Amino acid sequence: MEKRTVAIAADHAGYALKEALKVRLAEAGFGVIDAGTDSEASCDYPVYAEAGCRKVLDGEAELCILVCGTGAGMSIAANKIPGIRAAACSDVFTARHIRLHNDANALCIGARVVGEGLAWELVSAFLSSGFEGGKHARRVGLITALEEKGRSSGQ
């Protein structure tokens, strides 16, 4: 894996897994920016989805990992942020292909869906893959056009 800086954020349900993944990322030589939360106290996942994604958009991190109970909430929230392409993954094939084909910049993981070992495999697949471009670039461009259409229509 090419070493880079990764942002990571979680809500209360994902806190323990976030902490475990932070250790593994650091051991693997990645720079890690923790965008919260800092405990298992109940909190709102959209706040932390935005905090992690802002690190990517501001150029502080190349990619982002978001953890909540299912990964779905973080994914929905992250995809509302212009410039973010996020997907919830629970299998290695998908975690790899969201980078290869969709140029995803946020991986969302469900701490109540996958264990720590599989979560690390997902992160490893995501971080070791790069965008293939080609026909996929056209498709990502169409996604960006949808995003821009939504902004221009006042959504």
- Kindly list the catalytic residues: 68, 101
Phi, psi dihedrals of residue 32, rounded to the nearest 5°: -130, 125
SS3 assignment for 3-61: CCEEEEEECCCCHHHHHHHHHHHHHCCCEEEECCCCCCCCCCHHHHHHHHHHHHHCCCC
Which residue's entry shows tokens 């809500």? 11
CA–CA separation, 23 and 139 (whole Å) = 35
Q: What is the DSSP letter of 89?
A: -
Closest CA to 63 of 110, 9, 14: 9
CA–CA separation, 77 and 43 (whole Å) = 14
